[in-house]
Amino acid sequence: MPENKTPNKKLIEVALPLDAINAASAREKSIRHGHPSTLHLWWARRPLAAARAVIFAQMVDDPSSHPDLFPTEEDQERERQRLFALIEELVKWENTTNEKVLGAAREEIWKSWRRTCAENADHPRADELFDPEKLPAFHDPFAGGGALPLEAQRLGLEAHASDLNPVAVLINKAMIEIPPKFAGQPPVNPEARAAATLATRKWKGAEGLAEDVRYYGKWMRDEAEKRIGHLYPKVEITPEMVAERPDLRPYEGRKLTVIAWLWARTVRSPNPAFSDIEVPLVSNFMLATKKGKEAYVEPLVQQGGYRFVVKAGQPQDPAAVRKGTKRSGANFICLMSGTPVTGDHIRVEAGSGRLGQRMMSVVLEGDRQRVYLSPTNAMEQIALSAKPAWRPEISFFEKALGFRIGNYGMSKWSDVFSSRQTTALATFCDLIPKVFQRAVEDAEASGNVLKVAPDDWGDAICVYLGLGIGRSADFWSSISTWSPQPKNELVSHAFTKQVVPMTWDFAEANPFSSSGGNFNKNISYVAKAVGRLGRGKQGQSIQSDARSQRLSDSKIVSTDPPYFDNVGYADLSDYFYVWLRRALKWRHAKLLATLEVPKAEELVATPGRHGGKEEAEKFFLEGMTDAMTGLTQYAHAAFPTTVYYAFRQSETASDGGTTSTGWETFLAALISAGMRLLGTWPLHTERKARSRSIGSNALASSIVLVCRRREGIARSTSRREFASALKVELPKAVLLLQRGNIAPVDLAQSAIGPGMAVFTRYERVLDAAGNPLSVREALALINETLDEILAEQDGDFDGDSRWALAWFEQVGFEEGEYGVAETLSKAKNTSVEGLAKAGILTSNRGKVRLLRPEELPADWDPATDSRLTAWEIVHHLVRVLEIGGERAAGELVSKLGSDAETARELCYRLYTLCERKKRAAEALAYNSLVQSWPEISRLAREKKPAAQLQLL
């Protein structure tokens, strides 16, 4: 772009319908069937709804960019709301394949693009950069789980994905590269070809490919059972079993399929009297907790040893059963003697190769229920008889982020999988070439039906079946556990978090059952996801280091880079890579050439890998600066770049403020790369903030940073001028955020955007000594200014509420001295006696205490309250919301009229105080009230007479 040409401001640089985006993102978490994430696990994926909305808003002009079309602020806001309504439809899960909604979104993108092309017709590279008949392509250089490239493709863009990690590259191939090649193609398997509807059915997207994935997956499962089915025998319910367990009578004489075998790890007892006995390390003896269907394991000590017995019914001491032999962390008790089994003892035993395992229970497929049996020696011996021909003898980095197992004698990936699990996974991997041969033969036999080469069809089938094996590995390992919860009695997958945990009792799934983590079920998930893909333009997925890539040249960029030291993707993904490599290397030799995933170049601050915390931070800063410099240089200048970053400000600085090494390091990289930060938008995957996320780095939300290349020559400025600019510009931005119902938990994070927009406006900000202000210092000043803004808003509140705020900051809901309270009341032009009459506090025997929400009168009516306060309104709303939900709160707001809005503003101030004082429960209550406000207001309007609606 010419230097004097200012690019059109995009919608994402001005406003977003966050509530709708967040609601759709939260809902998406409960969707599994057909969701692309079910192709294969990846960590910290971005919701498709958020990705789709961000890319759309990144490409569509904000109405303020076209004063000729929208001359007044009212006209611009009206057009903005129209675009918001389109986004609200676009983000819904059911519209991911709705061509009418997607078509409307693509039309808006084209409309903005053609305006941009017309305005840049005199650009020296107009033919290349501003072709009105061709949209710019999209690129994500940290593609990971592939949500962003997929949604760009869905919006009509040619999508490019690159990642250093071969597992991520393979996932992206499966999402954006393979499906469009086979769009509209029918399946080739004999069963489908024999069906009468094959010739008449219209195959949308990759539906035909999905049918073949199901068919050949089933064939592979059946073939594997022929080879190793003897390791997974059924269990016959004998009369002897029924005599001991009458509840088994309906199954007498029947052979039931095993769902899973449950195991306990063991170590030698630390008690010298029992040192020859391997005692169990069990975190929970409960097998099923559904009322009336309970089952549990009871360890019986006898004859100098013990055995596990499964019992049906409610245990006499449920708490003890749920506790197992575990006491805390890695500390247990010896089943034989009650002697403590310390973590140190376990580590020594494990390090010496003496971490054993013993079968605790067997879970069977009953008639619409689980059946639990005591284990037998024969069952255990069958499991231990497995002799895998190959093991993944690949060492992992024991100091990797999130790894726990290295402390307990495990050093190789082969240690994570039992012999029977290893045999099963290796068997499925070794069947992939057989599937390829059959699929190619069937494709050739289909005649001229296919428009692609048979080898390509066979290769595509194998990629998806390989991912199905990867999905299975998530359930078939010794770190997978059993969930005893009602309606959820199943094998849990290994990666419930971004860590490799140490599990003390684990579940070994049967690949050939019809429940739990069986192979057919995993392939079914893969096939359903494939069937919804392939309806956009062609995509590309390649392996590339983000620091040196040039693929972003002249493309729109949205990306989700690593989060400093939160997730060690490379180390974690080796768990799957060892199996994917064995299954697919013969077809993807270049991508899967290395024995393990590349580690040295990965942009994650791993202290153990880089020689300490400071060195790791330096590595991350330098590497991320290189990557962002490339984006600054290559990304299409007509569009902002959007970057996701899920890292909260959570470190308390020496001056009492809040900051974060992860945030400041990442922002420093952006600024060093020549970018201006123009906005920060919080996007949630949870509808309500959880108490555990307050004051923590929980990845419940992502911050989308909106950036542009810093054009021209920026001047330097002083710290004083920067602070003055913040005090002028930040209050307006904060007010807009609050009016947009930004959650209090996200306010500080969101204020970074407009604050850093001021900071990055200048080449440098210099302190009094002439030294450049660091990013940490800039963040601290932004947070300090935000605190001042919120404190200044206190002036909008009544005197009683101002007193309550000051008192709450000091003591919360605890008691304080009457004299101190009375002195404070004089400064706020009120009195303790008046505050008591207002229903804010209780005063007794020289002590004063604020009333908690649950202590307020249930029959309170604001219409008859002669001394109505914002404080009182907030806490009555908190009380009502907790007891009666949003509808009850809406009824109360309908009575409050315009007073309710002042109370909502007070919540922001209260949340900030609670976060600083580490009062998580109260903070959650205030945050929840604000987040529920749109629905509460809607319900209140339904209650209001028409003449009063204008007050809301």
Taking the C-alpha atoms of residue 183 and residue 452, their distance in angstroms, rounded to an integer, is 10
User: Is 463 within 8 Å of 291 (Cβ atoms)?
Assistant: no
Closest to 39 (Cα-Cα) out of 188, 141, 172: 172
Across the chain, mean pLDDT equals 89
How do residues 198-222 score in pLDDT, each as one tens digit? Answer: 767 888 999 999 999 999 999 999 9
Please tell me the least confidently modeled range out of 379-383, 414-418, 488-492: 488-492
State whether residue 309 is helix, strand or coil: strand
Cα angle 887-891-893, degrees, rounded to a multiple of 5: 110
Instruction: Give the residue-averaged pLDDT of 57-62.
Output: 97
At residue 652 the predicted structure's pLDDT band, cuts being 50, 70 and 90, is: very low
At residue 112 the predicted structure's pLDDT band, cuts being 50, 70 and 90, is: very high
Q: What is the pLDDT of residue 196?
A: 65
Amino acid, single-letter form, for residue 577: Y
Tokens of 350: 């494990």
* Per-residue pLDDT at 952 exceeds 80: no
* Per-residue pLDDT at 659 exceeds 60: no
Q: For the chain, what percent of residues have pLDDT higher than 70? A: 94
Taking the C-alpha atoms of residue 805 and residue 790, their distance in angstroms, rounded to an integer, is 12
Helix axes 870-896, 933-943, angle to 10 degrees: 50
* Per-residue pLDDT at 733 exceeds 90: no
Taking the C-alpha atoms of residue 24 and residue 46, their distance in angstroms, rounded to an integer, is 12
Instruction: Give the residue-averaged pLDDT of 458-477.
Output: 96
Please tell me the least confidently modeled range out of 486-490, 526-530, 884-888: 486-490
Instruction: Give the residue-averaged pLDDT of 538-561.
Output: 94
User: Is 374 within 8 Å of 310 (Cβ atoms)?
Assistant: yes
Of all helices (H) and strands (E), which one includes residue 652?
A: strand 651-652
Taking the C-alpha atoms of residue 873 and residue 840, their distance in angstroms, rounded to an integer, is 10
* Per-residue pLDDT at 945 exceeds 80: no
At residue 917 the predicted structure's pLDDT band, cuts being 50, 70 and 90, is: confident
Name residue, tokens 């005199």: 122
How do residues 670-710 score in pLDDT, each as one tens digit? Answer: 888 888 888 888 887 554 444 344 444 344 467 899 999 88
Closest to 37 (Cα-Cα) out of 470, 458, 431, 416: 470
Amino acid, single-letter form, for residue 652: T
Cα separation values, 111 from 108, 121, 123, 700, Å:
5, 16, 19, 35
Instruction: Give the residue-averaged pLDDT of 496-524.
Output: 90
Please state, as a whole number, how many other Cβ atoms lie within 10 Å of the Cβ of residue 27. 16
Q: What is the pLDDT of residue 713?
A: 64
Instruction: Give the residue-averaged pLDDT of 57-69.
Output: 95
Q: What is the pLDDT of residue 12?
A: 95
Question: E-strand spans in 68-183?
Answer: 138-140, 159-163
Amino acid, single-letter form, for residue 145: G
How do residues 821-833 score in pLDDT, each as one tens digit? Answer: 988 888 888 899 9
How do residues 616-637 score in pLDDT, each as one tens digit? Answer: 889 988 998 999 999 999 999 9
How do residues 395-451 score in pLDDT, each as one tens digit? Answer: 988 888 888 888 888 999 999 999 999 999 999 999 999 999 999 999 998 876 677
Taking the C-alpha atoms of residue 105 and residue 304, their distance in angstroms, rounded to an integer, is 73
Instruction: Give the residue-averaged pLDDT of 64-92.
Output: 95
User: Is 494 within 8 Å of 479 (Cβ atoms)?
Assistant: yes
Taking the C-alpha atoms of residue 453 and residue 474, their distance in angstroms, rounded to an integer, is 33
Taking the C-alpha atoms of residue 552 and residue 162, their distance in angstroms, rounded to an integer, is 10
At residue 660 the predicted structure's pLDDT band, cuts being 50, 70 and 90, is: low
CA 179 from chain centre, in angstroms, equals 25
Instruction: Give the residue-averaged pLDDT of 561-574.
Output: 86
Of all helices (H) and strands (E), which one includes residue 717?
A: strand 717-718
Taking the C-alpha atoms of residue 355 and residue 347, their distance in angstroms, rounded to an integer, is 9
At residue 654 the predicted structure's pLDDT band, cuts being 50, 70 and 90, is: very low
The full DSSP string for 759-820 is HTTSS-EE-TTSPBPPHHHHHHHHHHHHHHHHHHGGGGS-HHHHHHHHHHHHHTTS-EEHHH
Tokens of 652: 């308390």
Tokens of 523: 């392939």
Q: What is the pLDDT of residue 701?
A: 60
State whether residue 120 is helix, strand or coil: coil
Taking the C-alpha atoms of residue 636 and residue 158, their distance in angstroms, rounded to an integer, is 14
Q: What is the pLDDT of residue 944?
A: 57
Q: What is the pLDDT of residue 684?
A: 73
Q: For the chain, what percent of residues have pLDDT higher than 90? A: 62
Q: What is the pLDDT of residue 593?
A: 95
The DSSP output letter for 836 is H
Taking the C-alpha atoms of residue 223 and residue 229, their distance in angstroms, rounded to an integer, is 9
Whole-model pTM?
0.87
* Per-residue pLDDT at 82 exceeds 70: yes
At residue 780 the predicted structure's pLDDT band, cuts being 50, 70 and 90, is: confident
State whether residue 533 is helix, strand or coil: coil
- Identify the burial level of 859 via C-beta atoms within 10 angstroms of its C-beta, where 0-12 means exposed, 13-18 middle and 19 or more buried: exposed
Taking the C-alpha atoms of residue 48 and residue 178, their distance in angstroms, rounded to an integer, is 19
Cα angle 565-645-534, degrees, rounded to a multiple of 5: 110
